[in-house]
Amino acid sequence: MTNGLQPHHWITSSYSNNGGSCIEWAPAHATASGIVPVRDSKCPTGPILTVSVNAFAGLVALARSADL
């Protein structure tokens, strides 16, 4: 995790309107660097988790397959 990374454009999870815990990610940064920054949408100045593109794809697949 790092606080020094501040991508310019964050995209909020599609589940943001459900009132639950939500994340944001920065796709332009991911495209340019191969590293996906992820943060808590309710705490934009908090820590940022960085994962590889493949790890992020795995997280997305896991979230899609979960019984929410």
Confidence check: pLDDT of 31 > 60: yes
32-59 pLDDT, tens per residue?
Answer: 899 999 999 888 889 999 999 999 999 8
Domain limits, the chain? 11-65
**Residue recorded with tokens 């454009």:** 9
CA-wise closest residue to 23 among 9, 12, 8: 12
Cβ burial, residue 3 (10 Å; 0-12/13-18/19+): exposed
| 17 pLDDT higher than 60 | no
Confidence of residue 2 (pLDDT cuts 50, 70, 90): very low
